[in-house]
Amino acid sequence: MRKAFICPSKYVQGEDEILNLGYFVKTFGDSALLIAHPDDVNRVKEKLDATCKKFGVRFQESGFLGECSRQEVARLQKTAEENNCSCIVGLGGGKAIDTAKCVAKGERLIIVPTIAATDAPTSHSAVLYHPDGSFDDYAYFKQSPSVILIDTTVIAKAPARFLVSGMGDALSTYFEARATAASCTKVNAGLPCGVREELCEPARGTNAALALAELCYQTLLADGAKAKAACDADCITPALENIIEANILLSGLGFESGGLAGAHAIHDGLTVLEGTHSYFHGEKVAFGTIVQLVLENAPRKELETVLTFCLEIGLPVCLNDIGVDAITPEELNQVAKKACIPEESVYAMPFPVTPDAVAAAIITADRIGKAFKDRR
């Protein structure tokens, strides 16, 4: 059996860590193309100036337009070439990070998240959009970023909703990796880059990935509520440090080398409902995790543990919590069908899955979540 595991070359996390960004730029050369939204640049401008001065490096401003599109990627690649940039730095949220991955094409890439809302920073993949914001395609690169640099001071000062959303995304990691391992489904870590997928034997997840995914879940239960309290107070505590690591590193390695399953497919299905559009990815994934547990008939104790955790930190447990006050049979059918399109991860579940089964799990999870919420 072929197995695969992928990870960044280096992960560094600490207070005021952006002050050391110049050191990592210096390992590639004297300059970096900085891909970041102007608001994110302004948030850390003093630190960027300080690290440039300390290490003698230069950041080339990119004028990032805010969308990870083929046109923007091509423009920024030209900017990097014209300015002889030694490496690429993606700073900020998901769009800036994904754009940096595409511009760098898997080489000389430093990722600096300013929020801990998803596990995307560690991955070797990105999502491309059209300039109007509609989905275009997925992109995969030959390796994960060279450096992931986490400034916990910056993340602690971001709105706590981002951290909570990251915990929602991370919550699914163990359950999806567990399902993928049981079904022996291929994982993203084994996807070829620049080679037709059918020419490469699928790779399964490793024991290491499953262990990291389980540690991610245990960390969330142990420190999630304490970390949210610290973030609400703009304070850095050991619990917050642990949750930042869980949201970004443990979940990132767990999903990419452990696999996705029902929770993310159900998230994708829920996006057809307009009411969900103002909710973050991780918030919808959290409800998708509850649906997956219902779909697989997980033990009652396990389901109640997840529900308790979600309510404790403010994650959704029912459709109403993600902006869906009512759902028609036609809408439910649309959600279930989208979650079950051929390329979706729902087929990593270790049993046959149908749109009818997904629809039933969504309605049942909604009822269970509402009832559990009412009892508390």
Residue 280 and residue 237 in one domain: yes
Final residue of a structural domain among 106, 126, 156:
156
| Residue 169 annotated among the catalytic residues of the structure | yes
Catalytic residue among 223, 264, 268, 366: 264
What are the contacts of 226-233 at 24+ separation with CB within 8 A?
A: 227/163, 227/167, 228/160, 228/163, 228/164, 228/167, 228/313, 228/314, 230/156, 231/155, 231/156, 231/158, 231/160, 231/163, 232/160
Residue 134 and residue 179 in one domain: no
Q: Supply the pLDDT for residue 195.
A: 53
Q: Supply the pLDDT for residue 131.
A: 87
What percent of the chain is modeled with pLDDT above 70?
98
Residues 205 and 179 sit within 8 Å (Cβ to Cβ): no
Catalytic residue among 98, 124, 223, 267: 267
User: What are the Cα distances from residue 57, in Å, to 34, 45, 87, 372?
Assistant: 12, 15, 11, 55
Residue 25 and residue 125 in one domain: yes
Q: Among 153, 162, 18, which Cα is nearest to 91's?
A: 18
- How many domains is the chain built from? 2
State yes or no: pLDDT of 91 exceeds 80. yes
| Residue 264 annotated among the catalytic residues of the structure | yes
Residue 3, domain member (yes or no): no
Domain extent at residue 264: 160-375
Residue 127 and residue 174 in one domain: no
- For the entire predicted model, the pTM comes to 0.95
Residue 95, domain member (yes or no): yes
Strand runs (DSSP E) across the chain, as ranges?
10-14, 31-35, 58-61, 87-92, 109-113, 125-129, 135-140, 147-151
CA dihedral 360, 361, 362, 368 (to 10 degrees): 110
Distance separating alpha carbons of residues 240 and 157, to the nearest angstrom: 12
Tallying the residues shown for the chain, one arrives at: 376
Distance separating alpha carbons of residues 72 and 78, to the nearest angstrom: 10
Final residue of a structural domain among 156, 187, 208:
156
Distance of CA 46 to the CA centre of its chain: 28
Segment 361-376, tens digit of pLDDT:
999 999 999 999 999 8
Q: Supply the pLDDT for residue 194.
A: 58
SS percent in the chain: helix, strand, coil, step 5: 60, 10, 30
State yes or no: pLDDT of 133 exceeds 80. no
Segment 144-198, tens digit of pLDDT:
999 999 999 999 999 999 999 999 999 999 999 999 999 999 998 887 665 556 6
Catalytic residue among 151, 169, 223, 268: 169
Mean pLDDT of 319-344: 97
Residues 158 and 114 sit within 8 Å (Cβ to Cβ): yes
Q: Among 157, 273, 176, 265, which Cα is nearest to 216's?
A: 176
Residue 349, domain member (yes or no): yes
Segment 213-229, tens digit of pLDDT:
999 999 999 999 999 99
Residues 250 and 170 sit within 8 Å (Cβ to Cβ): yes
Q: Average pLDDT of the chain?
A: 95
Q: What is the CATH number of the domain that holds 83?
A: 3.40.50.1970
State yes or no: pLDDT of 241 exceeds 70. yes
Phi and psi, residue 294, nearest 5°:
-70, -40
Q: What is the CATH number of the domain that holds 307?
A: 1.20.1090.10
Residue 2, domain member (yes or no): no
Residues 140 and 191 sit within 8 Å (Cβ to Cβ): yes
Segment 2-42, tens digit of pLDDT:
999 999 999 999 999 999 999 999 999 999 999 999 999 99
What percent of the chain is modeled with pLDDT above 90?
91
Residue 87 and residue 176 in one domain: no
Residue 149 and residue 285 in one domain: no
Residues 353 and 321 sit within 8 Å (Cβ to Cβ): no
Mean pLDDT of 114-141: 90
Segment 244-276, tens digit of pLDDT:
999 999 999 999 999 999 999 999 999 999 999
Residue 77 and residue 193 in one domain: no
State yes or no: pLDDT of 202 exceeds 90. no
Residue 5, domain member (yes or no): no
Catalytic residue among 124, 151, 223, 281: 281
Burial of 224 (C-beta count, 10 Å sphere; 0-12/13-18/19+): buried
